[in-house]
Amino acid sequence: MRLFNFTAENCKNCNKCVRECPVKAIRFKNNKAEIDEEKCIACGQCFVTCPKHARNMENEVDVVSKMLASDRRVVACIDSAYLGSFKEPGQYVTALRKLGFDSVQEIAAGSERITEDYINYIKENAGNQKYFISSTCTATYLFIQKYHPQLVKYLIPVVTPMLALGMAIKAEDPNAYTVYVGPCLSKKYETFPKVDSAPINSLITCQEIIRMFRRKFIDLNSLEISVPDRVAKSTGSSYSIAGDVWPNITEILEENGYDSLRVNGLDNVKNLFESMEKEELGNCYIGISACVESCINGPFIPKESLSLFCRRQKITKFAAEHGWGIESEPIDWNGVDLRTSFKPISVPRHQAPPEKIQEILRKMGRKTRADEYDCGACGFTTCREKAQAVFEGMAEEEMCWPNLRKKAERKGDTIFLNSRNIIIFIDKEHKIQQINPVAEHYFKVTNDDVQGKHVTELGLPDDDYTYCFAIKKDIMNKKMHLDQQGIVVMQNIIYIEGDELFISMQDITEEEQRKEELAKLKMHTVDIAQNVIEKQMRVAQEIASLLGETTAETKVALNKLKDVVLKEGE
């Protein structure tokens, strides 16, 4: 089941997704990231953090569009985050109807029944279990099932509000096609299996629905305000806000000696689970959200939305003012069983033997404990954690930026020290930072002698360097005579971000000398050719002159002979 992944051609191997992934479910293969769905908890943090938008998710837009164009009743189940995400939520509801949805219903309406089931479960089990964990966040219960299986027993065995609403809709109309529309990625898991009888048939993100509006030329700002067909009470409207615990749950908890906690953001959640596993935490009910500030900060909140805390303030105010202020269409829960069960999900894990970890560390350039920087640049907390990931095929040895930098520096030093060209680094004040051995040879100085001195100390004109700093562009292939050194060089000036110049000079003196010799040879050849031409012309003229005299004499002799012959014939 491939629900989402990265687009390989867009992945730039920056490791940012690995750094953000709380469970390290990103595998690197051939320097490209891919999601291991067996390990993934679908929190969406890798999608949010990817700087090159290499993310790729199973797209159901076409399927939903076909359904909207059909005769089938299509119901939009909308997350309460929309109340803060759009300037005027009522226009968003109208836009959904214009798009073709036959009914628009708030998922928060299902949360009210969920609250009742929570209360009943807490009443029945208070005193028999230490913790009660809300199971409304899909990423959270996947996190527990896969990575903290000993906490599964604390999950309240009730479906999420989204599934509850979907089940109620299907109980009313088995032929209805239900579509979740919201900012969550993890709920993608709850749309499977893909069968008509499933509570939720498809998932469309807020960003995708905005694109669907644009395709149909639906302008939110020009629409009238309308109210969803089914809305939550004011207490349910704010269920997508971090820190919210329904008052009626709080009363039951206090009666039974339980605290209530609301924890959001997976870093905090991880710390919480560690405390729970050690049983350091006292008796409590815990509402957990994978996203920081809960659903109002989901990975697919529209980009055009207000800032996070503006969204929070807006929803809080909306709930405080009693929501839409109308009586919602009631939900018939008869025959709808919202109970569920949670079981641990096995995640493949192969622990590397210590000697294998050491072997991988050595290949990463970590020969001693002191070499283990634990910098986290690769995305893993420690070098040993990274080595374990390499062993499991989740990472590559080359994913070590300090090691790559060292290699690059060594290669750079090798090139710098062994280059046959003159190399000079100068700063924006034209002061010499470093010169290589070839430059030392030509300028008869040492690097220590000239470091920090103005480049003109080497007898170099600095006009080109001033110009290069001004335009912040390279100047390439400029010939220059260094009279003091008696050489001719081809100079390349490369601008480095941060206002530094890399100057490379290739000695082309011999080449220039050969050019001069060739030019002289050409002129000498031209002179010889001209002399030959002139001599040939003189010879030709002399020959022509002699031929002319001979021809005249012959003519006179022949005329005399002709006269004699004619006289003899008389």
DSSP 356-373: HHHHHHHHTT--SGGG--
What pLDDT is attached to residue 244?
A: 47
- Dist. CA 123–CA 119, nearest whole Å: 6
Side-chain-facing half-sphere of 548: CA atoms under 13 Å: 6
On whether the CB atoms of residues 284 and 260 are closer than 8 A, the answer is: yes
- Dist. CA 567–CA 449, nearest whole Å: 112
Cβ neighbourhood burial of 33 (10 Å; 0-12, 13-18, 19+):
buried
On whether the CB atoms of residues 154 and 131 are closer than 8 A, the answer is: yes
Tokens 């690995």 appear where?
Answer: 18
What pLDDT is attached to residue 396?
A: 85
Mean pLDDT, the chain, integer: 87
Q: Which letter, b or e, does each residue of 489-512 get, where b requires 16 or more Cβ atoms within 10 Å of its Cβ?
A: bbbbbebeeeeebebbbebbeeeb
On whether the CB atoms of residues 531 and 537 are closer than 8 A, the answer is: no
Instruction: Read off φ and ψ for residue 352, nearest 5 degrees.
Output: -75, 140
- What tokens were used for 39? 């390990």
Instruction: Read off φ and ψ for residue 96, nearest 5 degrees.
Output: -60, -40
Nearest one of 185, 200, 191, 198 to 76, comparing CA atoms: 200
- Dist. CA 454–CA 428, nearest whole Å: 11
Q: What domains does the chain contain, in order, with CATH numbers?
A: 59-320 (no CATH), 354-405 (no CATH), 419-507 (3.30.450.20)
DSSP 276-290: HHTT-S-SEEEEEES
What pLDDT is attached to residue 339?
A: 94
Nearest one of 158, 204, 159 to 177, comparing CA atoms: 204
Q: Evaluate if pTM is beyond 0.85.
A: no
Nearest one of 328, 308, 317 to 264, comparing CA atoms: 308
Low-confidence residues in the chain, pLDDT < 70: 1-4, 8, 54-56, 234-247, 404-412, 552, 554-558, 561-562, 565, 567-570
Q: Is 59 helix (H, G, I), strand (E, B) or coil?
A: coil
On whether the CB atoms of residues 114 and 108 are closer than 8 A, the answer is: no
Q: Which letter, b or e, does each residue of 352-363 get, where b requires 16 or more Cβ atoms within 10 Å of its Cβ?
A: beeeebeebbee
- Dist. CA 301–CA 281, nearest whole Å: 33
Residues in the chain: 570
CA distances from 504 to 9, 423, 448 (A): 35, 5, 19
Tokens 């299902």 appear where?
Answer: 110
CA distances from 502 to 99, 271, 494 (A): 59, 49, 5
